[in-house]
Structures are given as structure tokens and as C-alpha cells.
Amino acid sequence: MESRKKVLLKAIVLGDSGVGKTSLMNQYVRRKFSNQYKATIGADFLTKELTVDDRAVAMQIWDTAGQERFQSLGLAFYRGADCCVLAFDVTEPKTFAHLESWMDEFLVQASPRDADSFPFVVLGNKTDLVAERRVTAQRAQAWCQSKNDIPYVETSAKEATNVEQAFLVAARGALKRLAAEEEPYGIEFPDKPIKLDGNKKRKAAETCSC
């Protein structure tokens, strides 16, 4: 069997400051969690190698700053993204309300070829804080359904709940998009070159002005 090359995927994680973007990445890539909060300055990335449906993948996950004063620094990192993870904090309704603006900003800056089918994934993080929860799963799912049925995953970076599943969903969406873009717009090209017969060759020579 012919070995297939490893696919490099670029994933962007967006959301308000403090929703747990860095914690989700660290839990997924390094299997570590820290209670100490440290704001991301500009943008940073981690790489995770995985296998998705028998396909070798190197997933480059970009963590961009959520503070407004750093958002302009992250704009250049949006381009070339293969998927986008939108994260919010289930204990903070405003972080959920801001998903729309994060999504719109990404689409403007990244300018994907087909915005309607671009693979997004929404993560409702900090589900371990049950008593403090303010955004229900039903509310989040309803919003995702209104946005072309974006996949929704509830996560806890602290307890590693559904973190691997969330990024696997993102990787599958990115691979599906890449496969669709690799198709030559539905045109089938013949395996062998087309040969002109004698008459066609003469006509081609007669019409040639060289």
C-alpha cells in the first residue's frame, strides 16, 4: 500500500479572555492543567500529532489573545486556517453572546473560499463548575443549529472532559473540507493523453498562423 503523507492542519481557537482556550490546548496536547491564569499575549501555538480515520495528521493549534488590545495582533494568524474552534465559558453568558462577533471576525479576516461550509466547532467549557453554570446546553445547541448545524461539544479543561473528542471533531471537519477542495470541481480528466487523428492535425495546421 502506498504510504500517505502526513497532513498539516491549522486550527484557530477563538473566544473571550478567560474562557479556557489555553487550558483546553494544554490539556489536549500536554495533558496538563493549571489553575493559575495567565493571559495569552498576541498568539501562540502547539502541535499535536494524531491519527484521524487512518490518516496521519499534525494539528497546529493556534491560541489567540482574547483581550481587545491584542486582537489586531492575531488577525494575520487567521489566514490559512483549516478549521476554527469557538470557545465560551458556560458560567459567563457574555462569553457565549460574543461567539457571533468572534465568528464574524474570523470569516472577515480569514476569507475562506466557502464561508457557509467552513468547519467551525463550538466548545462550552468549564462544565465542571456545575453550580455556577449560566448557559444551558440547549441554548448553545440551538445557536449552533442556527449556524448551519455547527458541532457543539461541552468540555472541561480541568477534568479533561471531551477535550480530545472536541479537537477530533475539528480535525475531521478540516479534513473533509480539504478533501472537497482537492476535487477538480467535478471534472474528470482522462488517464491517457488525447491524440488527434490525421484530419484534425491538418485542420489544426491550416488554422495555425505561425
Q: Give the separation between CA 101 and CA 79, rounded to whole angstroms.
A: 17
Q: Give the separation between CA 10 and CA 159, rounded to whole angstroms.
A: 25
Helix H segments across the chain?
A: 21-29, 68-78, 93-97, 99-110, 137-146, 163-182, 198-207
Rounded to two decimals, what is the model's pTM? 0.79
Query: Which CATH number is 7-207's, of 1.20.930.40, 3.40.50.9100, 3.10.580.10, 3.40.50.300?
Result: 3.40.50.300
Question: Mean of the pLDDT values across residues 140-162?
Answer: 97
CA angle 200, 205, 210 (to 5 degrees): 150
Would you kindly state where each structural domain of the chain is located, as residue ranges?
7-207
Q: Give the separation between CA 184 and CA 143, rounded to whole angstroms.
A: 34
Strand pairing class (43-52; 120-125)? unpaired
Q: Give the separation between CA 25 and CA 46, rounded to whole angstroms.
A: 7
Question: Mean of the pLDDT values across residues 140-155?
Answer: 97
Say how many C-beta atoms besides its own lie within 10 A of residue 186's C-beta: 5
| Orientation of helix 68-78 relative to helix 99-110, angle to 10° | 40
The pLDDT confidence band at residue 207, using thresholds 50, 70 and 90, is low
Q: What is the pLDDT of residues 63-119, one digit of tens each?
A: 876 544 445 555 677 889 999 999 999 999 999 999 999 999 899 888 898 899 999
Q: What is the pLDDT of residues 2-50, one digit of tens each?
A: 446 889 999 999 999 899 999 999 999 999 887 755 554 445 789 999 9
